[in-house]
Amino acid sequence: MSYDLANDGEQPEGPKLPGLSAVALRKIRNGSIIGVGLLFTFLILWWIRTVYTDLLWYGELGYRDVFTKILVIKVWLFIGGTIVTAAALVINFYFTFRFSHGVSTLPVSEETMRLLRAILLAAIVVTVLTAAPVFGSATAGRWEVFLLFFNKVSFGVSDAEFGRDLSFFIVTLKMLSFIQSWIMGLLIVSLVMSLFLYAGMYALRGLNLLLSPRMLKHIGILGGLLMLSIAAGHVLAIYDLVMSQGGLVAGAGYTDIHARIPVLWFMTVIASLGGVGVFCQLLFRRVKTCDRRFQPLDHNDAVG
């Protein structure tokens, strides 16, 4: 029995990883743009059809002006909420990409790397195109709160606990609570997606996820803002106790005043200190880095 050992040193070639050429990527990108454009066009036409039907109905009832005013407010709120959300996410993802971009060490072809980058970019685009309309719709859905706020009048009566006019609790507090929850939700989405993008970018580079100073600063700013938004939510929850329906009578009861309010203030202080502490740490790190960078040379070093 004999064996051919001439090719023992040669390893069989493994399966080729899938890739994407530049021409195919360009076609997919153009097709995706056309597809997204057609989808948004269909949704807009569907919305116009629904609005036109409602407009005819309210016109027959003699409330066309009321319906038109509400519609205009909802459209502007949707546009504003969508634009603000999209801008915040795009800016956030821009800095995430900038702070994690680098040369890849993965032993893959350029076509495979192009495919992986396209998948990551598609995930970012889908996130923005999904989150922005969702936050915009949430803003438009609270049109009554904004309409009441911009047309509020003083009640001429103050509450016994905080000394504020009742219009603050009935009108202003609802709008502030919505804005606080809206901002907190946007910060959570930005923070979570930034972490996923950092992990994806480092995976494409073939590196373990290491928190560089710029990444720490970016995540720290988002985390600090999130803690401050949580603190603001606790403050608003304190004022919301005036409208509490949990007791035998409406309003803040004995337990609310002597137990819940102190606890909420304590939680506010903790969340505020957490947010301020993050910003102070980032500022201290920056000042320390500047001191090291501009530290004067020693006389012996200068002479040498």
- Residue 5: the pLDDT is 52
The tens digit of pLDDT for each residue in 142-178 reads: 999 999 998 888 888 887 777 788 888 888 899 999 9
Higher-confidence residue of 278 and 20: namely 278
Span 91-97, mean pLDDT?
A: 90
Residue spans of the domains in the chain: they are: 20-153
286 — pLDDT class (breaks 50, 70, 90): low
Q: Is the pLDDT of residue 50 over 50?
A: yes
17 — pLDDT class (breaks 50, 70, 90): low
Q: Is the pLDDT of residue 135 over 80?
A: yes
113 — pLDDT class (breaks 50, 70, 90): confident
- Residue 299: the pLDDT is 47
The answer to whether the beta carbons of residues 235 and 246 sit under 8 Å apart is: no
The tens digit of pLDDT for each residue in 211-259 reads: 778 888 899 999 999 999 999 999 999 888 877 665 545 566 667 676 7
Tell me the range of 182-186, 202-206, 257-261, 279-283 where mean pLDDT is highest. Answer: 182-186
Kindly state the greatest CA–CA separation across the chain: 108
- Residue 44: the pLDDT is 87
Q: What is the pTM of this model?
A: 0.80
> Which tokens in the block code for residue 158?
């103050």
- Residue 287: the pLDDT is 53
Higher-confidence residue of 12 and 89: namely 89
Higher-confidence residue of 20 and 258: namely 258
- Residue 297: the pLDDT is 47
Q: Is the pLDDT of residue 184 over 90?
A: yes
- Residue 216: the pLDDT is 87
